[in-house]
Amino acid sequence: MAKPRVLFLGLDGLSWSVYRRLRGRGFLRSLAALEPRAVTGSVDMFPPLTPPMWTSMTSGVNPGKHGIYNFGPVDPSTGRRPRLYNALDVDAPRIHDIVSYRGGSSLVVNLPLSSWPPIPFRGALVSDWLSPKDYARPDWLDKSFRRELEERREWSREGPCGKVARDAAAAAALLDRIDKLLDYDYYFIMFSVVDALMHKHPDELLDPREPCIRETLELVDDVFKTLIEAFRGEATIIAASDHGNEPVRYRVTIPRALYEAGLVKPRYEPLERRLRRDRKVRSLPSPVLAVVNALVEMPLLGRAVIGVGRRLVRRRGLFWIAQGVKRPVPDPENSIVVTPLPWYYDFYVNPRYSAEREKIIARVVEVLEEAMKSTGHRFIHRVEPGRHVFHGPHEGEAPDIVLSPAEGYDLGGLNLQAPIVERVDGSWGNHTPYNMHMIAVEDGRPDLVEAAKAVREPWDYAAFALYALGIPQPGDSDSGLCSRARLRCATANYRSRYMLAKRLAARLGRGAPRQSS
């Protein structure tokens, strides 16, 4: 009998609608072929952010247990994120760790927070996009990966090609060494091409014309197709995303509503637009800029001046006039409610007001409901007090308030003089709360079909994969999959081995995977 295998194929930020657009243009043919024999569905990913969701999906526990809430920890007294998370911040073993503890091996490609510093496991690794260093292990895979990266060095860093170069190199390296990559028990292979392009170049993704983008999509599809065909009928296949992504129709400035309610205080900072290196940075003449900035800080005139400026900036070729102009943005250190910068769907109560935390949280929720009612826009899909939905050793680090946007809304506005809701041209995309998945099971496993139908929460993916591999669940798993699907699932404690591996990685600053024999 063939050993059980699981292929976990990820596309960051892929929604069902974007998938159908790409499928209709002849891309992602591997998933189109998989779809008719798969159980399909969507899960509400909360919050819809890459690091916490991929970590939940591959560990089987919520952020309160694994400790990853965002891209980095927040100092709630200043709103600053002093650093990005790294692999040592992940406080729960993931599927590839557990497979290794049971004597198996894994291929892990671009799993966020998996590669710096690398925590030892049996198998092969391609570093993730959050790693400060691009590398692969073992050496034979690293040579292919570095060669493919070098071939794409000329792809413009400023345009859409630069957003996908890393994915193209990783996919090409996998295809180059595919003969050595077909004997693992578990595969996690994730590509970021969809999310990377949807944020700033949605048109380039939804109707790919650039040769670099078409090449990248074809390479990704070839990797998926090769693995699916290699293990057809013998492996369980999970194709999933960590959240959705759609073009933005409205920009929402939530801090504006909090400012009007007295929960946020302003500070004025000049706008510094990043321009192409080969383009001279223009701005208003210094005397004019000084007058404009003086007017901006006046209570009554400021809003009118900013309104005129925003209308001018939208005109083609006039964006440069905003360079150096001050705008009122949240001042985290002096506000009751702290807006972290950069902001990703989370708010904190300033520690100076911690005695009134619950009252302030309730007031924020009330203000948000009032804003949606007054604007006629249900721009929030879900809003929750963080400590009500996340539980575990790290629940004290949870944001006080967590949001997820409704489809078509970007909640990232920070200008306190901007309208709470304003229509935009859809030239960029943003996360949406629902992901997509297809799950195709190995032949003769009706229990896996029922389990696939029971996947409803982010942590269910890890539970499903471990069950398909015949491996006991972590004792602290948050998944209710086994009970919903009426499966007999054993449990085990993997934490002590994982903590030992983390200590080794922290001490050595390395811990590269070792190739299984």
Q: Cβ–Cβ contacts within 10 Å for residue 390, how many?
A: 24
| Strand pairing report for 337-338 and 136-137 | unpaired
Sign of CA pseudo-dihedral 139, 110, 247, 318:
negative
Instruction: Give the pLDDT band (50/70/90) at residue 156.
Output: low
Question: Looking at per-residue confidence, does 398 or 322 come out higher?
Answer: 398
Number of helical (H) and strand (E) elements in the chain, helices listed first: 19, 21
Alpha helix segments (H runs only) across 231-300? 254-260, 286-296
- 3 state DSSP class of 69: coil
Task: Locate CATH 3.40.720.10 in the chain.
Answer: 5-74+84-248+432-508
Counting Cβ atoms within 10 Å, is residue 60 exposed (0-12), middle (13-18) or buried (19+)?
A: buried
Specify the DSSP element, H or E, that contains 64: helix 63-66
- The tens digit of pLDDT for each residue in 216-232 reads 999 999 999 999 999 98
Q: Calculate mean pLDDT across residues 84-106.
A: 98
Residues counted in the chain: 517
d(CA 309, CA 283): 13
Question: Looking at per-residue confidence, does 79 or 461 come out higher?
Answer: 461
Backbone angles phi, psi at 246, to 5 degrees: -145, 155
CB 188 within 8 A of CB 106: yes
Q: Name, in order, each residue with C-beta under 8 angstroms of 314's C-beta and a sequence gap of 6 or more.
A: none
CB 468 within 8 A of CB 460: no
pLDDT score at 295: 84
Note the CATH number of domain 5-74+84-248+432-508: 3.40.720.10
pLDDT score at 280: 54
Specify the DSSP element, H or E, that contains 240: strand 235-240
Q: Calculate mean pLDDT across residues 430-437.
A: 98
Alpha helix segments (H runs only) across 263-414? 286-296, 301-313, 357-375, 386-389
pLDDT score at 510: 54
Specify the DSSP element, H or E, that contains 124: strand 123-126
Structure tokens at 497: 């081995």
pLDDT score at 32: 98
User: How far out from the chain centre does Cα 74 lie?
Assistant: 17
Q: Calculate mean pLDDT across residues 316-333.
A: 81
Lowest mean pLDDT across 107-111, 117-121, 225-229: 117-121
Specify the DSSP element, H or E, that contains 109: strand 106-109
Q: Name, in order, each residue with C-beta under 8 angstroms of 157's C-beta and a sequence gap of 6 or more.
A: none
User: How far out from the chain centre does Cα 509 lie?
Assistant: 25
d(CA 142, CA 138): 6
- The tens digit of pLDDT for each residue in 244-268 reads 999 999 999 999 999 999 999 999 9
pLDDT score at 1: 58
Q: Pick the closest to residue 307 from 152, 422, 394 (CA basis).
A: 422
Q: Calculate mean pLDDT across residues 436-452.
A: 96
| Residues linked to residue 165 through DSSP beta bridges, in sequence order | none
CB 37 within 8 A of CB 261: no
Alpha helix segments (H runs only) across 187-318? 193-200, 202-206, 211-230, 254-260, 286-296, 301-313
Q: Is the pLDDT of residue 95 over 60?
A: yes
Q: Calculate mean pLDDT across residues 55-74.
A: 98
| Residues linked to residue 348 through DSSP beta bridges, in sequence order | 338
d(CA 319, CA 273): 9
Query: Can you give 333-344 as a three-state secondary structure string?
Result: HHCCEECCECCC
- The tens digit of pLDDT for each residue in 164-198 reads 999 999 999 999 999 999 999 999 999 999 999 99
* Average pLDDT along the chain: 93
Structure tokens at 188: 């996690």
pLDDT score at 159: 84
Lowest mean pLDDT across 98-107, 320-329, 384-393, 426-435: 320-329
Q: Pick the closest to residue 53 from 352, 377, 363, 437 (CA basis).
A: 437
Could you say which DSSP state residue 119 is in? Answer: P
- The tens digit of pLDDT for each residue in 449-476 reads 999 999 999 999 999 999 999 999 999 9
Q: Calculate mean pLDDT across residues 10-14.
A: 99
d(CA 445, CA 417): 58
Could you say which DSSP state residue 508 is in? Answer: H
- The tens digit of pLDDT for each residue in 276-319 reads 444 456 778 888 888 888 888 887 787 787 778 777 776 656 76
